[in-house]
C-alpha cells in the first residue's frame, strides 16, 4: 500500500498518478488537474454565457471568494477555504468558475495552490 501525500488516503501503489513531482491518488489528481491545466477557451465561453444569463453577476459565493482574493491579492487555496468555511471540493469548484471568467489565476506551489488576481 502507498499513501497519497495530499489526502492521506491509503491506495495501491499502482493507483498513484504523477502530478507536479508528487504521486497522488486518483481523487486528488482529478481535483488538481483542473487547477493546473491551462484554461480552456470553451469552458471560459460557457462560464461567461452562464454569468450573462444571471444578469452579469457572480453568485453570492463567487463574489465572496473574489472579494477575498481582491483584499489579499494572493491567497492559498486552503486558507481561502478556511476563511470562507468551505470544504475543499466547494472551493475548487468556485475557483475554477472564477478562473473561467478570467477573474482569478491559480498557480500550484508545492502542496499549495495559490489564488491570485
Ligand atoms: Zn489523495
User: Are 2 and 12 contacting, i.e. CB atoms less than 8 angstroms apart?
Assistant: yes
pLDDT confidence band for 39 (50 / 70 / 90): low
What's the gap in Å between 63 CA and the centre of ligand 1?
29
Go through the domains of the chain in sequence order and give each one's CATH number. Answer: 1-37 (3.30.60), 39-117 (1.10.10.10)
Query: Containing H/E element for 115?
Result: strand 112-116
What's the gap in Å between 44 CA and the centre of ligand 1?
27
pLDDT tens for residues 15-36?
Answer: 999 887 889 998 888 877 777 6
What's the gap in Å between 50 CA and the centre of ligand 1?
31
Tell me the whole-structure pTM to 2 decimals.
0.73
What's the gap in Å between 45 CA and the centre of ligand 1?
30
What's the gap in Å between 37 CA and the centre of ligand 1?
18
For residue 100, the tally of other CB atoms under 10 A from its CB is: 21
Q: Write out the DSSP string of 29-91.
A: HHHHHHHHSPPPHHHHHHHHHHHHHTTS---HHHHHHHHHHHHHSEEEHHHHHHHHT--HHHH
Amino acid at each position: 500500500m502507498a499513501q497519497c501525500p495530499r489526502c492521506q488516503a491509503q491506495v495501491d501503489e499502482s493507483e498513484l498518478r504523477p502530478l507536479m513531482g508528487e504521486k497522488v491518488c486518483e481523487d486528488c489528481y482529478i481535483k488538481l488537474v483542473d487547477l493546473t491545466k491551462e484554461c480552456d477557451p470553451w469552458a471560459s465561453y460557457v462560464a461567461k454565457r452562464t454569468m450573462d444569463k444571471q444578469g452579469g453577476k457572480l453568485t453570492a459565493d463567487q463574489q465572496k471568494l473574489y472579494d477575498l482574493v481582491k483584499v489579499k491579492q494572493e491567497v492559498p487555496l486552503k486558507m481561502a477555504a478556511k476563511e470562507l468555511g468551505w470544504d475543499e471540493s466547494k472551493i475548487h469548484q468556485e475557483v475554477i468558475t472564477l478562473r473561467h471568467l478570467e477573474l482569478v489565476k491559480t498557480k500550484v506551489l508545492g502542496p499549495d495552490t495559490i489564488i491570485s488576481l
